[in-house]
Amino acid sequence: MDTLAKFLPLSVFPIVMKKIMLLACLLAGKVALSQSASKAEPGFAYAVQKTAVISRPTVTVLPGSSQNRAELMLKGFREGSVTVSILNQDDKLLKQEERFLINGEEQLSTMYLLPKGVYYLQVAQNDIKVKQKLLVH
């Protein structure tokens, strides 16, 4: 950064640094761009949404799940379609269904008919896959 400061006038340096930080956040997936934002900076085609921090998605099997039903809490996913799969211990697909999320944090219920044992629930959205252990009593 010191090298950059040597070549830029002091009045321009904060603006350039802000744009470099924005680019770094975009590349790291920490912010999203919006065409409909109300406050755009000159020279930018898009403005940054203030509440666009993306966290790592999680899937939690909630207590109260029974022998043929699992209650899931999904957090950190995007609005849209997700694939909920049940796999055995050898990663063989036993059941798969598509669900649509209204927002990224939702509670889902999935039904199954499985013998007692250890299985895995996998929730996938685009290139994101989250796997959680499922115990059937």
Q: Give dist(CA 62, CA 59) in Å, integer.
A: 9
Claim: this prediction has a pTM higher than 0.75:
no
Q: Give dist(CA 123, CA 73) in Å, integer.
A: 11
Q: Where in the chain is the domain with CATH 2.60.40.3080?
A: 58-136
Instruction: For residue 111, list its beta bridge partners.
Output: 69
Q: Give dist(CA 100, CA 71) in Å, integer.
A: 16
| 100-126: pLDDT as tens digits | 999 878 998 888 888 888 999 999 999
58-136: CATH, from 3.40.640.10, 2.60.40.3080, 3.40.1190.20, 1.20.120.1200: 2.60.40.3080
Q: How many CB atoms lie within 10 A of CB 72?
A: 20
| 2-39: pLDDT as tens digits | 555 555 566 655 666 666 766 665 565 555 554 444 44
